[in-house]
Amino acid sequence: MKNATGYKYKIELHAHTSPVSECADIPPRGVVRRYADAGVHGLTITNHLWPGLLPRARDAAEFYMDDFQTAREEGRRLGVRMYLGAELRFEENANDYLVYGIDGDWVRRVIDYFSLGIERYLRDFRNDQSLIIQAHPFRNGMIPVPGTDGAEIFNMHPNHNSRNGIASVYANAHNLIPAAGTDFHHAGHEALGLTLSKSLPVDSFGLADLLRSRDYLFLLGGRVMIPEWKE
């Protein structure tokens, strides 16, 4: 069994900023400041990337990237390493998928897949460097899709029942990469669900590699949790 020695870096895998995520309250700089104050070393911005974005901007990809670029500048200032992520949704249903190992070019390409759905996405992006993890697969209205790389087994959003225990059993049964995240939207909820690692990934691609390695622990509500799975 692993122990917590050496897992000294704290990383957030699931956080939203306003205005790109309409459901979030806090603009990019404020989110980074809160995470810096919480002692977090790496922060992933996973704004909603879905069909609802299209009527809100002439160039949806540029609009999407604006929040991240502002956050990255603030991260440089405050010493928080920023990672580009996304919470992707297609037209077919209300499922959400967290994606890591991406860049602005991926954001631009994926917009064309909104109408095509997850199966087509998985076919075309399977050999890509990106990693796709189903967010909170057992929240109301979600349909678990075991063909993804992983499942968010601890979604710490205080205003939703994500049925984390069931999600954890499900991830083990399908040998899915287990992920934890805060799903940060509102002040006071920052850093509730973190990942602990031995090294701090350089960028979003390195973050995807870390998740593939499965060499990390969770920090949930300030308590270390050691994930175990069948080898």
- The nearest distance, CB 150 to Zn ion, in angstroms, is 15
Question: Residue 87, interface with Zn ion (CB under 5 A)?
Answer: yes
Q: Which two tokens stand for residue 95?
A: 């499922």
Cβ proximity to Zn ion: between 38 and 198 the closer is 38
Select the residue interacting with Zn ion from 12, 67, 74, 183 (CB under 5 A): 183
Region binding Zn ion by CB under 5 A among candidate stretches 117-125, 177-185, 196-204, 206-214: 177-185
- By C-beta, is 7 or 211 nearer to Zn ion? 211
Closest approach of Cβ 109 to Zn ion, in Å?
A: 21
Binding mask 47-86 for Zn ion (x = CB under 5 A): ----------------------------------------
Alpha helices, H only, the chain: 28-37, 60-78, 104-110, 118-125, 164-173, 204-213
CB nearer Zn ion, residue 41 or residue 89: 89
Count of positions on this chain that bind Zn ion (CB under 5 A): 3
Query: Which strands, in side-by-side order, build the sheet including 86-88?
Result: 48-49, 86-88, 97-100, 131-134, 150-155, 177-181
> Which residue, 12 or 87, has its beta carbon nearer to Zn ion?
87
Joined together, the tokens standing for residue 66 give 């604006």
CA-wise closest residue to 36 among 67, 75, 85: 75
Residue at shortest CB range from Zn ion: 23
The amino acid at 231 = E
Looking at beta carbons only, is 23 or 226 nearer to Zn ion? Answer: 23
The whole-angstrom separation of Cα 29 and Cα 7 is 27
Supply the minimum distance, in Å, between the C-beta of residue 179 and Zn ion: 12
Query: Residue 173 to residues 96, 136, 168, 169, 195: CA-CA distances in angstroms?
Result: 20, 16, 9, 6, 22
Question: Three-class SS of residue 158?
Answer: coil
166 binds Zn ion (CB under 5 A): no
Q: Does residue 23 bind Zn ion (CB under 5 A)?
A: yes
Structural tokens at position 186: 């509102």
Residue 169 binds to Zn ion (criterion: CB under 5 A): no
What residues line the site for Zn ion (CB under 5 A)?
A: 23, 87, 183
